[in-house]
Amino acid sequence: MRPPVEVSARAVCAGAALAAACLTWPLAAQQAPVRPTAATRAPMLQGPAAGEVEVLPVRGNIFVLFGAGNNITFSVGVDGALLVDAGRPEMADKVIAAVRRTHAEWLDLNRPKGLGFGAETRSSVADRAILAPPKPIRYIVNTHSHPDAVGANERLRNAGRTYAGGNVAGDIRDSGEGAAILAHENVLKRLSAPGEGKPAPHADALPTDTYYVESYKLSHFFNGEGVQLIHLPAAHSDGDSMVHFRTNDVIALGDLMSTRTFPVIDLEAGGSINGIVDGLNRVLDMAISEFRLEGGTMMVPGEGRVVDSGDVAYYRDMVTIVRDRVLDLVKKGRSLEEVKASRPTIDYPHFEARSGPWTTDMFVEAVYKSLGGGKAPAPAPAPAATRPGGRR
C-alpha cells in the first residue's frame, strides 16, 4: 500500500525556507525575497485534492505546480513564463490560471523600489512603479512524450506567445502566435508517428523546436538566467530531457525519478534501467549540496515532492542495488518468476505497490527485460580449430 503522506515536510520546508530566506532576483539585489503567496500554501504536507492544482515556491522566481499530471516546474519574471511540461489537457485552464496568478504576484512582490530621495522636479516614475501586465507563456519544454507531460501542449501553447526576430516577424505566418515548445527530437518523432486508430495530432500540440545533441541551451537569458535542456539517453524513454535553471540552480528531472514509486521505465519508448542509473548519476554530478547532502541544488521529479541531493543519492543507491540484484540473477539464467520471487526490492517497502499504474512487479519485469533477462543465451563459441602438429 502506498503511504498516505506523499510529501516530506523536511524537504519541502527546506525548499520553502530556502526560497524565503536565500534568494534575491539576480537583476536587482535590493528587491524583496520571494515568499509563499495567496497562490501557494507552504509547507504542503500532502498533494492537492483530485482535480485541483497547487503551487509551491522552489527558489527565486522558480515555482512548481502539482496536480495537473506531471509536476510542472516553471519560471516567471519580466520575460514571461517558461513551463517544464504541460500536464493533462483537462487541467489546462487551472494551470494557465495558476501560472498567471503566480506570475502577477511575483512581479508585484518584486516591483522595482523607488530611490527614496529626489526633488519634486525629478521623475518619480520609479516610485510609482507602474508595471506592465505579465507577459504570457513564452516556452513550454516537454521532458518526454507521455500524455501526463504533453497532454495540454496545444492549450498552453495557444495561451502563450513567441516573439520572433525583427527581420522574420512578417514572413512567418504564425511566428507571433503561441508559445514555443522545446523537446528532444525523439519526442517529436513519437508524438507525430502514425498509429492505428490514433488521430493525427494537431500541429499546435507538437514541439516547435527540437534538438538531437547532448544538450540544448536557450540562446539568451530568460528571466535573468540561462536555461539548459540536457538529454538523458534511454532512461524513462529515449527522448528524456531534464531542465537546469542555472542561476537559481533548480533542475526539473522529468520522470527520471518519483518520490512515490520505483522509476517508471517505458521499454517500448526506448527506456532502460541502466539509462535511469546513468541519469541519476548525472544529476548528482551536477548538484552541489549546501551542507552534507542537504539543501543546495533543488530538484523537481516528475511525480512527488521537491528533493535535494540526499534524496537523489538515496534513490540512486536504491535503483542501483535493485538493478545489480536482478542483473546477478539474469546472469545465472533465472526466469522472471524466479526473480520476482526473490523480492529484489524487499528493502524498499515504501516504494512498493501492488496496484496502480506502476506496480513493483511491473518495475521488476522492466528491469529484468532491460538487462536482457528471458532471452535465450547466446550459443557457445565453437572450439578453435586444432592446427596440424597439435598446436592451437
Chain contacts with Zn ion (rule: CB under 5 A):
146, 255
The least CB distance from residue 235 to Zn ion, in Å, is 11
The least CB distance from residue 236 to Zn ion, in Å, is 6
The least CB distance from residue 272 to Zn ion, in Å, is 14
CA dist 48 and 69 (Å) reads: 12
Nearer to Zn ion, 33 or 233 (CB): 233
Nearer to Zn ion, 295 or 301 (CB): 301
For the chain, the three-class secondary structure string (H helix, E strand, C coil) is: CCCCCCCCHHHHHHHHHHHHHCCCCCCCCCCCCCCCCCCECCCCCCCCCCCCCEEEEEECCEEEEECCCCCEEEEEECCEEEEECCCCHHHHHHHHHHHHHHHHHHHHHCCCCCCCCCCCCCCCHHHHCCCCCCCCEEEEECCCCCHHHHCCHHHHHHHCCCCCCCCCCCCCCCCCCCCEEEEEHHHHHHHHCCCCCCCCCCHHHCCCEEECCCEEECCCCECCECEEEEEECCCCCCCEEEEEECCCCEEEEEEEEECCCCCCCCHHHCCCHHHHHHHHHHHHHHCCCCECCECCCEEEEEECCCECHHHHHHHHHHHHHHHHHHHHHHHCCCCHHHHHHCCCCCCCHHHCCCCCCCCHHHHHHHHHHHCCCCCCCCCCCCCCCCCCCCCC
Phi, psi of 109 (to 5 degrees): -70, -25
The least CB distance from residue 143 to Zn ion, in Å, is 8
The least CB distance from residue 179 to Zn ion, in Å, is 21
The least CB distance from residue 255 to Zn ion, in Å, is 4
The least CB distance from residue 364 to Zn ion, in Å, is 19
Nearer to Zn ion, 301 or 373 (CB): 301
What is the Cα gyration radius of the chain? 24
Q: Which residue number is nearest to Zn ion in terms of Cβ?
A: 146
Whole-angstrom CA distances from 274 to 146, 173, 270, 346 are 20, 44, 12, 20
The least CB distance from residue 147 to Zn ion, in Å, is 8
The least CB distance from residue 276 to Zn ion, in Å, is 12
Q: In b/e form, how buried is each residue of 178-208, taking b as 16+ CB within 10 angstroms?
A: bbbbbbbebbbebbeeeeeeeeeeeebbbbb
Nearer to Zn ion, 146 or 157 (CB): 146
Nearer to Zn ion, 43 or 263 (CB): 263
Set of cell numbers at residue 253: 528531472
The least CB distance from residue 326 to Zn ion, in Å, is 21
Nearer to Zn ion, 146 or 325 (CB): 146
Nearer to Zn ion, 255 or 311 (CB): 255
Sign of CA dihedral 187, 81, 65, 216: positive
User: What single letter denotes the amino acid at residue 294?
Assistant: E
Nearer to Zn ion, 105 or 255 (CB): 255
Nearer to Zn ion, 247 or 272 (CB): 272
Nearer to Zn ion, 146 or 155 (CB): 146
The least CB distance from residue 145 to Zn ion, in Å, is 8
Nearer to Zn ion, 239 or 373 (CB): 239
